[in-house]
């Protein structure tokens, strides 16, 4: 039973709340994309996802992918090829990419909020456009004009697709250990090595697949500083096969319709992207978008699960209300929404989903501003916010998303555990998001070890400046007072935790590592409190039922979710001793 | 890769810590089952599970069950029949049941701690003996001598198996709505109705299947007070088929080798168990064991996942230690156990698993004492503890077990998400335990609405008496001081929360309902702190590495897990307003 509907009304609310028109559509090159135009694009995209991709979600999960060992080909489930053709013909793949290479040239903000709907309707499918976008961004930012000319248009229009070939059997988190070799040969290189976990590494959707491959040149320094980036097409431009083959598929808990491939490179022709040995730097420039997108996966499946749990709850009658006045005695039992705990579970999910959707919008708008504002100070401010909040959305939205999907299953009882409903698939599909694109603890180390110290703590100051501006601007709005007062308190708590962490971590990095995951969650909750205050500010200007709904949902968040911050603050300050004094022989 | 080994050393530690010999083996009828005898039985059982059941766990999951619509038969995966025959021939099915009906007559404690190993090696398989045990207990407690004579031996020896037929499409949690009818006919009844979610309702392991069916007599009062219990065999004693058929199987996220059946009763012959209309009371007497067993499921799969995550972590090298002195520069990277967060995740799991194993032992010992102590005061004291802690172990151990399995997957990164390791199966298999045998919120309502008020609050007083005895007895043991002091503080916190809940709940039951789930978790953590103090007391008498290991693990629990109690206390005291003032139209 697939009931999902795109939450475009709430997406619009957030575009307004975070001033999409003033912040993004006001940038010269986005002048064509005012809110009306944006919503018309998003509505068209949502219709396609609901009509063409949603019907393939369950069948894709059940049928999975076929690997043919005879020719190492991979066949996707029925309907995926037609759906991909439809998606590319509608121009959705090229939404945020330059018109000169066949794209629409829309703000990245629209692609980011649209991706929630794409993922919610069919997460496995979404990974093909997702990975291709990553490759396009890398080429745009670091490729030579020649490479751009040869590759971008076919990728942007969906004639070809792209992958990211990073992981090898001996290295996932620690890419410094990778051993794939690239030997120079004339204007190109010859690559040899084995890559694993390659999403959409082989498939039958497009006539060519372009791999972005991390490898080492012969004169590369050891470790992370000796990695270069290459483009390696499956089929060479002259139509001959390159030395690229699929060595098999992983069998996974979820995302069954997304092929996860072993990709073997055997003397394959490749082209250098950017500067030799500076590959990791190039990868970091595109990582923000990819990590934001993984965060969106947590939100997307959480909302899809919520919609089903709510539909189930509205329909299900079981037991009597604890309040005799609410009992409907003409029915054999009361609707389960009378039970406080059913509401508690649903509101845990709803109140975090809506905040996370706001955070996605806020970050995406700042990505556009970081790249396209005319004023350097504006660009820098937005870049600070994006860099700081990216690890937070990736980690917190996936962790919470997983918990939320499980909470939705709990609302549905045994029904949620069966394949009659898609929630069990969402739970299996969403779990990987806590692991890939940098595990969630890697996000925490990125936050604590890179983002906080950067530019003498400027990133945090920039974000706290935003918080302070909001607090000051809300002085004369009594409706906001309880929320603003909680935000103030939480900001102080976060700043105190940051000082403590910086103090300890300066002399002992293990202290920072021990605290990082809990600190990230503390930061996330404070950030969501800020997002809720922004949303409430806008809700006041909207009025009516939407205002009431937002205020009631925010009240739940501030009363029942935000207190988790105290636990994270406490755990972040315990210190490393319980872990590091532990004798590993006793594990 | 199936690496699981039964944790019998820790099981033995707990049998000692909770004084199995003094509390159980000292009871006359259990005189033959001293600790040596107990461990010899448990070791034999563990060997069987490791050698015969573990190898079928993955294949059972992959192959699943076959339903043949032609004859409505159900075929279990290859090897299950042989494994069941081996299990029954070894006498494990009858371990805790009376010798006069073919059982071993061992204490239930041994069956309870053995079931952790049974479940960990093959949860799907474990459900057949598990459900059969439930039926045997119901017959023992409420069946006539005639029924016992006709049914018990064949069930206890595994010639036949048993089920529990409670749920119907319109009622799961709310059994008062059930409509299956039983019409008297001579010395028996004729039952008609449709039951769903019937575990092992049909299969090919035994020559007969005996269903325990909840149904209504013609003169039954409406609701929960009009339910009677019947025995309905698939094959009648004269060898003719009864009107019982399997209408199909559920397709579930996990436990793929455990058939979940629709069972249709069409004028089937059944026999009344116990008194007309008093069926629910009869069900409650056996529910404690069943709920304890579901709690054990959470522990079992959490420990199985832990063993795999630990093996993976010990083998995996990735990145460098944050402490330069710990770097092994002759390797390309350091073992991941150098990373504080990897230890944090493993210790979250280990420190809760070991406490839960202690809690299982403590409850099981009290079940034996509640039934078999000579002195009525002893029986009552133990019965109080069992009644109070059963909803806690069922709910908390399954919730934590699910989180723990997920945490173990996170330790393993992408590998944990693939079917190369069993952790993804554990995650799918364990999730149902939060739902069945009374959803976890039903456990919380049982705790708050039934167990706390019972006998004027005596159950809590009894348990707090145990806590106080331990605290007083530890006065002169300085090694225990920090743990005892935390236990004291947490007991006060729990008692304050109980007073607040009782005060609010008295005038408004919705307040109790809104707080119940968080209150249960608060209670659970306090209970686990008590269990840890009992374990540490025993560890001091053991000394050596085991003492050190227990103290280090306890330290982690008290520093990094127990603080969660503050969050639960806070959330339990928020009140119902954020849920019940919420306008459901805004969901």
Cβ of A556 within 8 Å of Cβ of B582? The answer is yes
Closest residue to B414, CB basis, from A350, A435, A440: A435
Cβ of B171 within 8 Å of Cβ of A580? The answer is no
Q: Are B436 and B197 in contact (CB under 8 A)?
A: yes
Mutate to test the interface with A, among B313, B414, B522, B565 (most CBs of A within 10 A): B414
Residue of B nearest to A580 (CA): B340
| B516 inside 8 A of chain A by CB | yes
Tokens of B30: 């259990």
| B542-559 tens-digit pLDDT | 999 999 999 999 999 999
Mutate to test the interface with B, among A225, A250, A579, A581 (most CBs of B within 10 A): A579
| B176-200 tens-digit pLDDT | 999 999 999 999 999 999 999 999 9
Q: For all residues of chain B together, what is the average pLDDT? A: 97
Q: Are A2 and A345 in contact (CB under 8 A)?
A: no
For residue A586, which residues of chain B lie inside 8 Å, CB to CB? Answer: 545, 548-549, 552-553
CA A417 – CA A424 distance, rounded (Å): 6
- The CA distance from B130 to the nearest CA of chain A, in Å, is 19
- The CA distance from A544 to the nearest CA of chain B, in Å, is 12
Instruction: Please report the pLDDT score of residue A357 as a whole number.
Output: 98
| A130 inside 8 A of chain B by CB | no
Cβ of B410 within 8 Å of Cβ of A440? The answer is yes
CA B230 – CA B241 distance, rounded (Å): 17
At B26, is the secondary structure helix, strand, or coil? coil
| B472 inside 8 A of chain A by CB | no
CA A191 – CA A269 distance, rounded (Å): 6
Kindly give, in sequence order, each residue whose CB lies less than 8 Å from that of residue B141, ignoring residues fewer than 6 positions away. B282, B285, B286
| B374 inside 8 A of chain A by CB | no
Q: Write a three-state SS string for B496-537.
A: HHHHHHHHHHHHCHHHHHHHHHHHHHHHHHHHHHHHHHHHHH
Q: What share of chain A has pLDDT > 90, as a percent?
A: 97
For residue A564, which residues of chain B lie inside 8 Å, CB to CB? Answer: 567
End-to-end CA distance of chain A: 44
For residue B577, which residues of chain A lie inside 8 Å, CB to CB? Answer: 559
pLDDT at position B285 over 80: no
- How confident is residue A287, by pLDDT bands cut at 50, 70 and 90? confident
Beta strands in A518-585 (DSSP E): none
Kindly give, in sequence order, each residue whose CB lies less than 8 Å from that of residue A501, ignoring residues fewer than 6 positions away. A448, A452, A511, A512, A515, A519, A572
| B197 inside 8 A of chain A by CB | yes
CA A236 – CA A232 distance, rounded (Å): 9
Residue of A nearest to B413 (CA): A435
Beta strands in A306-447 (DSSP E): none
> For residue B516, which of B432, B419, B439, B430 has the smallest C-alpha distance?
B439
- Annotate A118-131 with DSSP letters as a single string: HHHH-HHHHHHHHH
Q: What share of chain A has pLDDT > 70, as a percent?
A: 100
Kindly give, in sequence order, each residue whose CB lies less than 8 Å from that of residue B183, ignoring residues fewer than 6 positions away. B189, B190, B191, B192, B218
At B368, is the secondary structure helix, strand, or coil? helix
| A328 inside 8 A of chain B by CB | no
> For residue B409, which of A206, A87, A434 has the smallest C-alpha distance?
A434
Instruction: Please report the pLDDT score of residue B35 as a whole number.
Output: 98
Chain B, window 2-41: residues with a beta carbon less than 8 angstroms from a chain A beta carbon: none
The sign of the CA dihedral B81, B86, B88, B92 is negative
| A316 inside 8 A of chain B by CB | no
| Marked catalytic residue, from B202, B399, B407, B437 | B437
> For residue A394, which of A444, A326, A448, A337 has the smallest C-alpha distance?
A444
State the DSSP H helix or E strand holding residue A400, giving kind and residue range, or none if neither.
Answer: helix A376-412
Closest residue to B333, CB basis, from A177, A322, A350: A177
Strand pairing category for B73-75 and B66-68: antiparallel
CA B97 – CA B351 distance, rounded (Å): 33
| A549 inside 8 A of chain B by CB | yes
| A55-72 tens-digit pLDDT | 999 999 999 999 999 999
Kindly give, in sequence order, each residue whose CB lies less than 8 Å from that of residue B270, ignoring residues fewer than 6 positions away. B182, B188, B189, B190, B191, B213, B215, B230, B231, B232
pLDDT at position B283 over 90: no
| A546 inside 8 A of chain B by CB | no
The whole-number average pLDDT for the span B107-117 is 98
Q: Are B386 and B366 in contact (CB under 8 A)?
A: yes
Q: Are A292 and A390 in contact (CB under 8 A)?
A: yes
Q: Is B420 exposed, middle or buried (0-12, 13-18, 19+ CB in 10 A)?
A: middle
CA B559 – CA B486 distance, rounded (Å): 10
For residue B62, which residues of chain A lie inside 8 Å, CB to CB? Answer: none
At B185, is the secondary structure helix, strand, or coil? strand
The whole-number average pLDDT for the span A201-209 is 98
Chain A, window 73-102: residues with a beta carbon less than 8 angstroms from a chain B beta carbon: none
**pTM, full prediction:** 0.98
| B251 inside 8 A of chain A by CB | yes
Cβ of B252 within 8 Å of Cβ of A512? The answer is no
- Annotate B294-348 with DSSP letters as a single string: HHHHHHHHHHHHHHHHHHHHHH-B-S--SSGGG--TTSSS-BGGGSHHHHHHHHH
> For residue B563, which of A352, A565, A347 has the smallest C-alpha distance?
A565
Q: Is A550 exposed, middle or buried (0-12, 13-18, 19+ CB in 10 A)?
A: buried
Active-site annotation holds for B407: no
pLDDT at position B413 over 90: yes
Residue of B nearest to A223 (CA): B332
Residue of B nearest to A570 (CA): B563
pLDDT at position B159 over 80: yes
| A367-393 tens-digit pLDDT | 999 999 999 999 999 999 999 999 999
- How confident is residue A284, by pLDDT bands cut at 50, 70 and 90? confident
Mutate to test the interface with B, among A170, A224, A319 (most CBs of B within 10 A): A319
Cβ of B560 within 8 Å of Cβ of A571? The answer is yes
The whole-number average pLDDT for the span B62-88 is 97
| Marked catalytic residue, from A153, A168, A424, A437 | A437
Chain B, window 399-438: residues with a beta carbon less than 8 angstroms from a chain A beta carbon: 402, 406, 409-410, 413-414, 416-420, 424, 427-428, 431-432, 434-436
Tokens of A510: 């293990």
Report DSSP state, residue A178.
-
Cβ of A584 within 8 Å of Cβ of B339? The answer is no
Q: What are phi and psi of B124, to 5 degrees?
A: -60, -45
CA A9 – CA A165 distance, rounded (Å): 37
Kindly give, in sequence order, each residue whose CB lies less than 8 Å from that of residue A262, ignoring residues fewer than 6 positions away. A194, A195, A196, A198, A201, A246, A247, A248, A249, A250
For residue B509, which residues of chain A lie inside 8 Å, CB to CB? Answer: 322-323
Report the DSSP beta bridge partners of residue B191: B182, B268
Tokens of B24: 């159980």
Does the interface predicted TM-score (ipTM) exceed 0.90?
Answer: yes
Q: For all residues of chain A together, what is the average pLDDT? A: 97
CA B234 – CA B202 distance, rounded (Å): 9
Domain limits of chain B? 451-576
CA B158 – CA B148 distance, rounded (Å): 15
CA A244 – CA A233 distance, rounded (Å): 8
Tokens of A518: 């809990």
| A98-153 tens-digit pLDDT | 999 999 999 999 999 999 999 999 999 999 999 999 999 999 999 999 999 999 99
- How confident is residue B201, by pLDDT bands cut at 50, 70 and 90? very high
- Angle between helix A481-507 and A458-473 (nearest 10): 170
Cβ of B332 within 8 Å of Cβ of A428? The answer is no
> For residue B360, which of B393, B385, B391, B384 has the smallest C-alpha distance?
B393
pLDDT at position B288 over 90: no
The whole-number average pLDDT for the span A336-359 is 98
Closest residue to B414, CB basis, from A418, A436, A553: A436
Instruction: Please report the pLDDT score of residue B281 as a whole number.
Output: 83
Kindly give, in sequence order, each residue whose CB lies less than 8 Å from that of residue A34, ignoring residues fewer than 6 positions away. A21, A25
Cβ of A567 within 8 Å of Cβ of B564? The answer is yes
Cβ of A428 within 8 Å of Cβ of B428? The answer is yes
Kindly give, in sequence order, each residue whose CB lies less than 8 Å from that of residue A235, ignoring residues fewer than 6 positions away. A207, A208, A241, A242
Closest residue to B510, CB basis, from A254, A322, A563: A322
End-to-end CA distance of chain B: 44
- How confident is residue B287, by pLDDT bands cut at 50, 70 and 90? confident
CA A386 – CA B54 distance, rounded (Å): 48
- The CA distance from B344 to the nearest CA of chain A, in Å, is 6
Q: What share of chain B has pLDDT > 90, as a percent?
A: 97
- Angle between helix A458-473 and A509-542 (nearest 10): 30
| A481-496 tens-digit pLDDT | 999 999 999 999 999 9
Residue of B nearest to A578 (CA): B556
Report the DSSP beta bridge partners of residue A475: none
pLDDT at position B111 over 90: yes
Which residue shows structure tokens 């005996």? B210
| B208 inside 8 A of chain A by CB | no
Beta strands in A283-338 (DSSP E): none
CA B56 – CA B258 distance, rounded (Å): 12
> For residue B439, which of A401, A303, A345 has the smallest C-alpha distance?
A345
- The CA distance from B159 to the nearest CA of chain A, in Å, is 30
The whole-number average pLDDT for the span B389-396 is 98
| A545 inside 8 A of chain B by CB | yes
CA B216 – CA B179 distance, rounded (Å): 7
Q: Are A427 and B432 in contact (CB under 8 A)?
A: no
For residue B556, which residues of chain A lie inside 8 Å, CB to CB? Answer: 578-579, 582
| B426-470 tens-digit pLDDT | 999 999 999 999 999 999 999 999 999 999 999 999 999 999 999
At A405, is the secondary structure helix, strand, or coil? helix
| B477-517 tens-digit pLDDT | 999 999 999 999 999 999 999 999 999 988 999 999 999 99
| A396 inside 8 A of chain B by CB | no
Tabulate helix, strand, coil % of chain A (nearest 5): 65, 15, 25
Mutate to test the interface with A, among B174, B405, B556 (most CBs of A within 10 A): B174
Kindly give, in sequence order, each residue whose CB lies less than 8 Å from that of residue B102, ignoring residues fewer than 6 positions away. B94, B152, B153, B156, B157
Instruction: Please report the pLDDT score of residue B423 as a whole number.
Output: 98
- The CA distance from A457 to the nearest CA of chain B, in Å, is 21
Instruction: Please report the pLDDT score of residue B282 as a whole number.
Output: 81
Neighbour count for residue A278 (Cβ, 10 Å): 15
Query: How many helices and strands (H and E) does chain B possess?
Result: 20, 9
The answer for B23, left when phi > 0, alpha when psi is -120 to 50, beta otherwise, is alpha
Burial B317-334 (b: 16+ CB within 10 A, else e): bbbbbbbeeeeeeeebbb
Mutate to test the interface with A, among B512, B532, B579 (most CBs of A within 10 A): B579
Instruction: Please report the pLDDT score of residue A1 as a whole number.
Output: 76
The whole-number average pLDDT for the span A207-220 is 97
């Amino acid at each position: 039973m697939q009931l999902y509907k795109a939450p475009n009304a709430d997406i619009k609310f957030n575009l307004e709340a975070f001033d999409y028109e003033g912040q993004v559509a006001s940038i010269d090159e986005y002048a064509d994309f005012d809110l009306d135009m944006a919503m018309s694009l998003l509505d068209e995209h949502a219709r396609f996802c609901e009509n063409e991709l949603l019907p393939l979600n369950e069948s894709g999960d059940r049928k999975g992918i076929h690997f043919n060992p005879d020719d190492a080909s991979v066949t996707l489930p029925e309907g995926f090829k037609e759906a991909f053709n439809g998606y590319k013909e509608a121009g959705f793949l090229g939404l945020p990419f330059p018109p000169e290479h066949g794209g629409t040239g829309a703000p990245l903000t629209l692609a980011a909020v649209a991706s929630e709907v794409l993922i919610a309707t069919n997460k496995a499918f979404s990974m093909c456009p997702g990975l291709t976008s990553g490759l396009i961004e890398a080429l745009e930012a670091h490729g030579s004009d020649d490479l751009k000319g040869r590759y971008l248009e076919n990728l942007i229009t969906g004639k070809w697709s792209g992958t990211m070939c990073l992981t090898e059997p001996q290295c996932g988190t620690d890419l410094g250990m990778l051993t794939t070799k690239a030997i120079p040969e004339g204007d190109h290189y010859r690559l040899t090595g084995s890559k694993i976990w390659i999403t959409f590494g082989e498939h039958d959707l497009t006539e060519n697949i372009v791999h972005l491959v991390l490898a080492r040149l012969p004169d590369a320094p050891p470790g992370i500083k000796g990695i270069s980036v290459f483009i390696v097409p499956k089929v060479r431009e002259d139509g001959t096969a390159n030395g690229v083959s699929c060595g098999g598929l992983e069998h996974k808990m979820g995302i069954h319709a997304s092929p996860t491939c072993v990709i073997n490179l055997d003397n394959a022709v490749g082209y250098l992207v950017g500067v030799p040995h500076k590959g990791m730097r190039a990868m970091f420039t595109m990582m923000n978008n990819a990590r934001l997108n993984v965060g969106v996966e947590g939100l997307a499946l959480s909302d899809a699960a919520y919609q089903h749990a709510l539909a189930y709850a509205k329909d299900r009658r079981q037991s009597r209300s604890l309040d005799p006045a609410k009992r409907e005695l003409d029915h054999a039992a009361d609707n389960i929404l009378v039970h406080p705990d059913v509401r508690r579970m649903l509101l845990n999910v709803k109140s975090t989903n809506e905040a996370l959707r706001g955070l996605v919008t806020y970050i995406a708008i700042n990505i556009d501003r970081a790249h396209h504002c005319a004023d350097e100070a504006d660009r820098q401010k937005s870049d600070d916010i994006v860099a700081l909040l990216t690890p937070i959305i990736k980690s917190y939205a996936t962790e919470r998303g997983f918990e939320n999907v499980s909470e939705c299953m709990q609302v549905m009882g045994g029904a949620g555990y069966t394949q009659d409903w898609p929630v069990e698939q969402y739970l299996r599909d969403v779990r990987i998001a806590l692991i890939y694109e940098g595990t969630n603890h890697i996000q925490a180390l990125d936050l604590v070890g890179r983002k906080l110290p950067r530019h003498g703590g400027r990133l945090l100051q920039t974000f706290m400046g935003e918080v302070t501006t909001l607090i000051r601007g809300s002085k004369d709005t009594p409706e906001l007072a309880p929320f603003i007062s909680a935000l103030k308190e939480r900001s102080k708590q976060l700043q105190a935790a940051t000082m403590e962490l910086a103090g300890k971590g300066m002399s002992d990095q293990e202290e920072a590592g021990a605290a990082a995951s809990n600190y990230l969650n503390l930061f996330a909750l404070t950030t969501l409190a800020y997002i809720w205050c922004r949303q409430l500010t806008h809700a006041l200007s909207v009025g009516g039922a939407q205002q009431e709904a937002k205020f009631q949902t925010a009240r739940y968040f501030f009363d029942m979710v935000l207190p988790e911050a105290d636990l994270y603050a406490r755990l972040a300050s315990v210190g490393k001793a319980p872990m590091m004094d532990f004798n590993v022989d006793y594990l």
